[in-house]
Amino acid sequence: MRLSARPIAALLAALALTAGLSITGSPAVARSDEGPTAAEASDVSIAADTYSWKNARIDGGGFVPGIVFNRSEKNLAYARTDIGGAYRWDQPGKRWTPLLDWVDWDRWGWSGVVSLASDTADPDNVYAAVGTYTNSWDPTNGAVLRSSDRGASWKAATLPFKLGGNMPGRGMGERLAVDPNKNSVLYLGAPSGKGLWRSTDSGVTWSEVTAFPNPGNYAQDPSDTSGYGNDNQGIVWVTFDERSGSAGSATKDIYVGVADKENTVYRSTDGGSTWSRIAGQPTGYLAHKGVLDSATGYLYLTTSDTGGPYDGAKGQVWRYDTASGAWKDVSPVALADTYYGFSGLSVDRQKPGTLMATAYSSWWPDTQIFRSTDSGATWTKAWDYTSYPSRQNRYTQDVSSVPWLSWGANPSPPETAPKLGWMTESLEIDPFDSNRMMYGTGATVFGTENLTAWDSGGQFKITPMVKGLEETAVNDLASPPSGAPLLSALGDIGGFRHTDLDAVPAMMFTSPNLDSTTSLDFAETSPGTVVRVGNADAAPHIGFSTDNGANWFQGSEPSGVTGGGTVAAAADGSGFVWSPEGAAVHRTTGYGNFWTASTGIPAGATVESDRKNPKKFYGFKAGTFYVSTDGGATFTAKATGLPAEGNVRFKALPGTEGDIWLAGGASTGSYGLWRSTDSGASFTKFSNVEQADSVGFGKAASGASYQTVFVSAKIGGVRGIFRSTDAGAHWTRINDDAHQWAWTGAAITGDPRVYGRVYVSTNGRGIQVGESSDSGGGGTDPEPTPTPTPDPTDPRGDAACAVTYTVTNRWSGGFQADVKVTNTGDSAYSGWKLGWTFPGDQKVTQMWNASHQQEGAKVTATDAGWNGTVAPGSSVGFGFTGTWTGGNGEPAGFTLGGEACTVG
């Protein structure tokens, strides 16, 4: 499955933003030479308690375009992400440590890392070129960050132009390089026609190398007027030939890659004073990488007909003999047989002549990795066909530590699940260990520790090497009062049911699989009922669950839907209101078999539900608040004068009808936090909150009369995460300058069961979980003691019911069935539970219009709330899918409330 790294339409629609585990060691802190000054602690209330922060563990979830090993110190490695910061490898823990969590709201673009450089002469030094977009979406210029303590603290040199960590071409590189002989000299390749830049004082100041003749000319899409696809990708990599210098003297021979298909490699032989195009070089392609094997004197290029990371239909691998000046095409396959470009490139520093390359844009059936042990004269592949579509792999792959990497897929050959990868623009062999290799994909970092088994005819083992690297972009969060503590809506990988915040979830939401989930909600008084909506290449864009998100079934949708939008569930789960992209606001009862357009509310409005009254829904768009009292059928415009621009998010307080908090706006207009206590008829602005972007609720403090309120806001001149235990009269900042995570405006929610716990969305650093050291007397709600219930499959008499069970579809290992229950008695059912025992090893995988539990062969199906009342003579139906192996016989009997039903 292809992962999109932050869709551009969504960026344009939402301020150019869509989008680890606890930090090992001391958190990184910014000390910027330029840019906004960090707030002093005295500017904001400091809590009597302190908060600890960690990620709700997912492991990965986004594109890793660069991995950099230090070549003078073993086990020192870094990884860069396109929107989620930079990381350092922790060898004892075999995990990644985040380094840029200090990046603040005003400089959110610095969380996009376009390049990294680790100093060979002094391994304590590391540099990061940061900036997310080169167009107006990013409000600040790029910078080169420098650290003398391996990323524990940083200083910044702001550049006179922008950098594009999430722009086209971001997998090329590395654009930033430290001279291995004179480490005070650094080079940086700039985008947007800004040329080549150099620092001679260890990154403190930078100036353009005016003698460099070519700033590049390639753009992904010259017709794009947004500044995204039409941006010149510029100077894309810098490589030194360390043999041409000595310690303390600048390296003489420097190679530079340029985004120009006819002039893609330049060289200086005098330490950067003069430059010339290398004669005889390949043309018609862009050199994504340029790596020099100093032991052999060969410079290798991986090329593609585009800049990537998604596209690329043709490519080659070339070798340049720096001694003779001869070029040779050493491509692993003939050009005519490629349908992809090459990018990932690494040489084995322990074994001269050994190199590897990736077919980064081979989406189907899988990415490909190539290896040569004779300087490119011959190659072998990570996998090859035996007889199509069967393939033979030189590797084994174990994703048990991150099981969702299989996507729950069972593809037909030659595809496999999990995939070897996609968007594989970075691949690095450990310079100290020929057996260790890491490579980045669109979702994770894979690696191996027995790579040389490739050469001996054995199989090398690939596993995720991504622990601690949390890169998801978070769109929505929900914390139900029972069931899983957290449900997440994520960009690119859909979202998860987090039953254990410290464990990787087994699988993302499926049935349907959504590329990005844009909104989710649960029924406040029936939290087993959950709905989610999102973006996908085709319908469906909506899914329902009746068991708190453990299993899902696809819903139908109104015509015209093109994207997820927002969705709300009635307080009791009896209906839903959906405001999708591409269509009007619609409502449904049940689970979306039929949709009816709502009236009185504009398309594109944000929708939410009242958390007590199941008939009441709310909407907002362009400064006007809308209210429905008939389950979303009709809306009426109520309060006006609210923010007319910017992002606006609102939530209704659980357990109280009509208590609504609204956050949002823009600095060019109205911006802040408002509250309504009359169901949106009027709102009052909080004078003590300057700006706010998201709001949520959690368990009340001991003795407090109101639930805890959490906001991502600017209060007292300080941007941060704040909490109030007295309905907004006073606020306390609960994060600190080391934990800011750039942009946190999409979603925030407290935990209704644990006082002080808060879940915070980020745009690339996953879900942050804050835990208070002060229980506030609130403590943790004990789980209720379950009330014993009769065994539903143990008949104790005759029930007034008749059941029909019909298998509607069957396939190898799976089936679908419909069940109808008819009330044959004289009084209505007020809630129902139907039980049966499978005769074989069948397992229910998902159920709709009812929830289910299964222990061994025994199954109990429970009404969904809205269909719990069944009048005499009426019927209720539900369906499910399941698996089978030995047989798929029908149940012999059914019970309702423990009493036998008539079957037939």
Q: Is 377 exposed, middle or buried (0-12, 13-18, 19+ CB in 10 A)?
A: exposed
DSSP 198: E
Check 119, 231, 348, 492 and give the catalytic one. Answer: 492
Tokens describing residue 485:
């503590």
- For 251, the token pair is 């390296």
CA dist 263 and 235 (Å) reads 11
Whole-angstrom Cα Rg for the chain = 29
Contacts of residue 493, defined as CB under 8 A and 6 or more positions apart, other chains included, come to 3, 58, 61, 404, 443, 472, 508
Rounded-to-integer distance, Cα 684 and Cα 729, Å? 13
Q: Is 492 a catalytic residue?
A: yes
- 175 and 163 Cβ atoms separated by less than 8 Å: no
Partners of residue 293 on adjacent β-strands: 298
Residues in the chain: 904
Angstrom distance (rounded) from CA 566 to CA 746 = 13
Backbone angles phi, psi at 830, to 5 degrees: -120, 80
Strands 368-372 and 286-293, sheet pairing:
unpaired
- Rounded Cα distance between 755 and 415, Å, is 47
Could you tell me if residue 849 is left (phi over 0), alpha (psi between -120 and 50 degrees) or otherwise beta?
Answer: left
- Tokens 């990488």 map to which residue? 289
Report how far residue 438's alpha carbon sits from residue 466's, in angstroms, rounded to the nearest whole number.
10
Cis amide linkage into residue 389, ω under 30° from 0:
yes
Q: Provide the residue type at 11 as one letter.
A: L
The answer to whether 6 and 746 are in contact (CB under 8 A) is no
Q: Kindly give the pairing relationship between strand 153-158 and strand 29-30.
A: parallel
Report the C-alpha gap between 164 and 167 in whole angstroms: 5
Contact criterion met (CB below 8 Å) for 369 and 439: yes
Catalytic residue among 59, 82, 101, 863: 82
- CA 466 from chain centre, in angstroms, equals 14
Residue bearing tokens 């009084």: 827
Question: Are 24 and 90 within 8 A, CB to CB?
Answer: yes
Which residues on neighbouring strands pair with residue 797, listed in sequence order? none
End-to-end CA distance of the chain: 44
State phi, psi for 209 to the nearest 5 degrees.
-85, 90
**Which residues is 843 bridged to in the sheet?**
883
Q: Indicate if 119 belongs to the active site.
A: no
The 8-class DSSP code of residue 699 comes to P
Indicate which residues carry an active-site annotation: 82, 492
